[in-house]
């Protein structure tokens, strides 16, 4: 098991990609700490991991609540003596172009998609620096490297995550800490509902994929989980400041 006895903190792990990544990390030996504002979803994910014979715990936390995140990070570090992995995954889509996007929604998107990543990394960094090692993975999106029509909030925040990732990587490599970004493309989860609605429904988005995505299909959460495992494990030990795009080839189309 390539993550044996490591402690991994995953935000937004109650469902979708975050949950699949947490489950795979647990299968590979990590003790997974799930942070999700949906207490039921987080508890269910942790219970599923434990039922499979692996280690997990869940905390109902809104990751935009700095004090709550800091409290959990401090408690985990004190109890386990380490935090080896932080996967900042929690995020949200807010539809709309410059003139139609809800300004409050834009602000919430920034707070969740960018600032919450920043703060969680800030809280775990002293623990990782003291250990002389650690991995931070920030979830961006293929929207962080592409134009997404009428999704100015999401695209702006996901581009910002990539810039922030590169800056963190450059600043903290000398402490043995690696920081990378994951850019999933079209993955079939409820997370995509706002954009699917904006595109005109599921039929329209699947027609788009057939035309614009070379592999011609949705990705699966399990496929993205394998990318997560690569980036948080020693399989990528010489990789930092990089962006892994898993989008079925959309960015080359």
Q: How many other β-carbons are positioned within 10 Å of the β-carbon of residue 50? A: 15
CA atoms of 45 and 51, how far apart (whole Å):
10
CA atoms of 230 and 238, how far apart (whole Å):
11
Q: How many other β-carbons are positioned within 10 Å of the β-carbon of residue 99? A: 7
CA atoms of 62 and 132, how far apart (whole Å):
29
Name residues whose C-beta falls within 8 Å of residue 89's C-beta, 6 or more positions apart in sequence: 10, 11, 12, 13, 17, 18, 21, 139
Terminal CA-CA length for the chain: 37
CA atoms of 40 and 34, how far apart (whole Å):
12
The helix/strand/coil state of 113 is: helix
What Cα–Cα distance (Å) separates residue 39 from each residue in 7, 93, 171?
Answer: 21, 21, 35
β-strand partners of 58: 34
Tell me, yes or no, if 154 is annotated catalytic: yes
CA 36-231-193 angle, 5° bins: 45
Catalytic residue among 147, 154, 172, 208: 154
Q: What residues are labeled active site?
A: 154
């Amino acid at each position: 098991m390539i993550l044996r006895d490591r402690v991994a903190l995953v935000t937004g792990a109650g469902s979708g990609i975050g949950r699949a990544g947490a489950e795979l990390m647990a299968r590979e030996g990590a003790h997974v700490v799930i942070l999700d504002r949906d207490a039921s979803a987080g508890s269910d994910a942790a219970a599923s991991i434990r039922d499979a014979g692996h280690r997990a715990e869940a905390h109902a936390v809104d990751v935009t609540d700095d004090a709550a995140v800091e409290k959990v990070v401090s408690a985990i570090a004190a109890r386990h003596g380490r935090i080896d992995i932080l996967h900042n995954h929690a995020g949200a889509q807010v539809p709309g172009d410059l003139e139609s996007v809800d300004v409050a929604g834009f602000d919430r998107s920034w707070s969740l998609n960018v600032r919450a990543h920043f703060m969680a990394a800030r809280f775990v960094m002293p623990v990782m620096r003291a250990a002389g090692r650690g991995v931070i993975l920030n979830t961006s999106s293929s929207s962080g490297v592409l134009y997404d029509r009428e999704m100015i909030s999401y695209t702006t925040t996901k581009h910002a995550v990539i810039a922030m990732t590169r800056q963190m990587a450059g600043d903290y490599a000398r402490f043995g800490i690696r920081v990378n970004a994951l850019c999933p493309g079209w993955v079939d989860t409820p997370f995509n509902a706002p954009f699917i609605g904006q595109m005109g429904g599921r039929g329209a988005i699947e027609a788009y994929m057939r035309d614009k995505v070379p592999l011609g299909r949705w990705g699966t959460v399990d496929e993205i989980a394998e990318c997560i495992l690569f980036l948080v494990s020693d399989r990528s030990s010489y990789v930092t400041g990089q962006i892994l795009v898993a989008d079925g080839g959309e960015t080359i189309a």
